[in-house]
Amino acid sequence: MKVAVTGKGGVGKTTVAAFLARCWRDLGREVIAVDADPDANLAGTLGYHGPDIAPLARLKALIQERVGGAEGWGGFLRMNPRVDDIPEQFGIVVDGIRVLVMGTIERGRSGCACPANILLREVLNHLLLTARQCVVVDMEAGVEHLGRGTAESVDAMLVVVEPGWASLQTAGRVAELAGHLGVRNVQAIANKICGGDDAAFIRAHLAGLPLLGSLPFDRELELAARAGSVSGDSPFYREVLRIAQRL
């Protein structure tokens, strides 16, 4: 199972992605969690407290070795570099889940970002097309990391929404873009639900997007998750577990 989790900033998509990875791990599956959000904090949400993780996009020696090319447009580029060993070499294991941080492209004066883009694209291609593990990709709001061939390999794109117009509008745009790229299974997950009115508001304004599940609002949830003290008895965990089993 390969899923991409997206949504407007602040809706809790990283928390949802982290709990989904945990639930699949608890179901006995091998899991790779990919942080493809520029505001990378998936590892921390999973309970990682070690030194900063170097994103792949900043590993210039690795990019030069695998992709080639010089700063700017100069140099020969390998469009299909070897990447199958990268998750094992550069991912870290957090509580039984392998985490890989993609990073963002620093444009500025660094010239053309093509080599880094190629590496990130091919790593995602490998994970979504050939990896035998369950893969959860925590994305930014959109489908920028997915080309057509990669997007078609995602088993599901999960759009996290909260009871507010802005997140629902973002969900509509993501669903439209995902459809253009060939993603056939796009579903919503409602988060921060405080009661029946919140759930009804979301259902009424999803514009036909299927609702996979609803997660309760929990003020202490993220703090507990980052401390590594996630309870399997919490309503939030139980609902994400149900979603993981449905997927």
**Residues 142-158, mean pLDDT to the nearest whole number:** 72
b/e string for 160-184 if b means 16 or more Cβ within 10 A? Answer: bbbbbeebbebbbebbebbeebebe
CATH of 2-52+95-105+132-246, one of 3.40.50.300, 3.40.50.720, 3.90.330.10, 3.40.50.150: 3.40.50.300
Q: What is the pTM of this model?
A: 0.88
Dihedral angle sign, alpha carbons of residues 159, 17, 30, 85: positive
pLDDT: which is higher, 1 or 80? 1
pLDDT at residue 105 greater than cutoff 80: no
Tell me the pLDDT tens digit for each residue of 116-140. 878 888 898 888 888 889 999 998 7
Tell me the pLDDT tens digit for each residue of 205-229. 998 899 999 999 887 776 676 666 6
- Residue 111: the pLDDT is 41
Label residue 26 by pLDDT band (50, 70, 90).
very high
**Residues 80-92, mean pLDDT to the nearest whole number:** 90
Label residue 52 by pLDDT band (50, 70, 90).
confident
Instruction: List, in order, residues 6 or more apart from 238 with CB less than 8 Å away.
Output: 232
pLDDT at residue 113 greater than cutoff 80: no
Q: Could you identify the residue written with the tokens 């080309």?
A: 147
Radius of gyration from C-alpha coordinates of the chain? 18
- Residue 181: the pLDDT is 81
- Residue 112: the pLDDT is 46
| 206/203 Cα distance (integer angstroms) | 6
- Highest mean predicted confidence (pLDDT) among 23-32, 56-65, 135-144: 23-32
Label residue 150 by pLDDT band (50, 70, 90).
low
pLDDT at residue 37 greater than cutoff 50: yes
- Residue 233: the pLDDT is 76
Put residue 68 in one of left, alpha, beta given phi > 0 → left and psi -120 to 50 → alpha: left
| 222/79 Cα distance (integer angstroms) | 39
- Residue 178: the pLDDT is 85
- Residue 80: the pLDDT is 80
- Residue 142: the pLDDT is 61
